Structure 1
Amino acid sequence: MKNIWRFLPFGLILLLTGCGMENLSALDPQGPVADMQYSLIALSLYIMIFVLVVVFLIYIFVLFKFRERPGDTHIPKQVHGNRTLEIIWTTIPIILLLMLAVPNVMDTFTLANTSVVSEDGEEEMDHVHVEVIAHQFWWEFHYPDLEITAGQDMYIPTDTRIIISLESEDVQHSFWVPALAGKQDNVPGITNEMWFEAPNEGVYMGKCTELCGPSHWLMDFKVVAVDPGTFDQWAENMAEPEEDVMNPEEGTVAADGREVFQDSCISCHAVGDEGGAIGPNMTNFGERQVIAGYLEYDEENLENWLRDTQEYKPGAEMPSYTHDEINDEEMAALIEYLNGLKILD
């Protein structure tokens, strides 16, 4: 029974490999940055396996060749040094380290270069600049060249260099989209930069990887890669949403919900160019797949989130709304309005 404890570490490893990592894998790289980083991981792994195999082969060889035999009592020849062996076991590690160091240094300089000018310096490559601002416990994505701001979901065009500026409004966070690029820290008062590209359309999962408070583990986000035409349409509609999105038809439930939103939410959340910037921008809220970064998007979860924010994200700055503040009828209208905040067909 006591030998079972020897297998405990292996069991824990198997258990932890499945904890909270759905769609968060660096082993399915997408784009040049992820490909480079994956290649470095693979190179390191191959070298370590090579060293491990060689060491075990030598160990097994020595174990059998120089094992104690029955009746053999002679003292082995005493060897005080072997210049050839010393040169070999000094040279081989140097070669292995160089095999690791050279590509690591070269790729480090490539990944640190956020310039959008081509190598010949004659033209500017297609790019989108995104300022990623971390908050407790949500993500803000500001597109300075497009003069738009999004919350929680970062839309990007495919086959385009995405230049990321990382900042933080409160404590230290860390931005990580494993399928596209390695993590980089969001540090208060410091702007870090990185870049990546997404060759394929799709939704790429992202996470905060720096302990930043009681709801750190719930600080998820998504990178939504769409074709350049769809991205241009999204950016245009984010800047100037259609009138029926901003102002639902009079007499409808959604119009009543907009009044509730104006009374209770507009000081923190913006729709289009109206409202505050304390919380996430809500212009395309109805198109999100999750609420608060991780809850499945449905009306029940949305109402629960609005009624008791701290139950679902402890430490979040968003207030909860009791039945005395927003009654059931008003809540239903507000949810109807939020569900209608969509800017893409």
Structure 2
Amino acid sequence: MALPARPAPADARDVRDVRVLSVGTALPGAPVDNLALARRFGQSEQWAEWVDVFVGTRTRHLALDLERGTLTHSLADLATTAAARALAEAGLAAGDVDALVLGTATPDLLMPGTVNIVADRLGLDQVPTFQLQSGCTGAFQAIALGRQLLLTGEHHTVLVIGGDVCSRAFDLAADVSALPPEQLVNAMLFGDGAGAVVLSTAPVPGAPVVRDVFTRLVGLGQAPGQTLAWFGPNDRDAGTPAVSEDYKAIEARVPVLAEEIYRELLERLDWKPDGLDYLLPPQLSGRMTRRISELLGNTSAAEISVVTSTGNNGNGLPFLQLEQLLPQLATGERALAIAVESSKWIKAGFALEGA
């Protein structure tokens, strides 16, 4: 789509709408069901059925060849594909992008930043790039930063990406039957993927408006609910697990925090529950999503959830939800998205309104 002329920088009296022009996503390979996981880890069909019931996730996409134990996609691969699709959907070229933001918990390298590898592959140069290191709320943080960049009036179009390759932390040689629950759960919950949106202040007809977005740390003095370790040559054999979860704490806290985010967004916007059309709940697992939806049972909003088929691919998930939402969101309709990060307990949410 052709964008109108770039607006002059904003001042205190000049408030612009930030719009979502398009979304693009990327998932690696074919879906991997619970039976395939069970076979790879030497488990029974009953184990696969237990995963389906306990976790509520039927399939996931993995950037990992389960038979060979090798990665098939990097985060940069997935992020570049998602970003290119978002740009194409918006009818834009790389030269139309004024800034690039990436949210992830699993960068390919500590340096160079994955965001800069993606920028190079897209043909971007001479623009600000930002990489935010965060778990499930990283995509929300990236959207918040992208929106703030646009509201300064110094930028016109920002490309925002989120994604993770969680399977990098899988230990295919592990004896699953001997793993403690805080490690076993990771083989069942997670998948890989990436997504991107094009944000702009251009008054493009039909592009929904980002009415609000916030992220907030709420874990003062509390133990992390999830850890993702990084190992160097001096500590890689220390015996520390790559990924660990306090799933009991997550089960207890995430629904409560999700309800708090939901109430706060409604209050900030002066929206009423019965005026909400769509809800994008946290996507930790199918089972957890159902619990949260039941907790928010007083809303008649249609639920947009994908985790049962995609697995929890971290910062890619909100974009997969948006990919389903945007074609449905009509003029005047309202949607809320919620995320909770358990690593050190972060609340996040954003609101869209159809234009």
Same fold per TM (> 0.5)? no
Q: Give the TM-score taking structure 2 as reference length.
A: 0.24
Q: Give the TM-score taking structure 1 as reference length.
A: 0.24
> If each structure's helix is expressed as a fraction of its own residues, which one has the higher value?
1
**Taking CA–CA contacts closer than 8 Å with sequence separation of 6 or more, which of the two structures ends up with the larger relative contact order?**
2
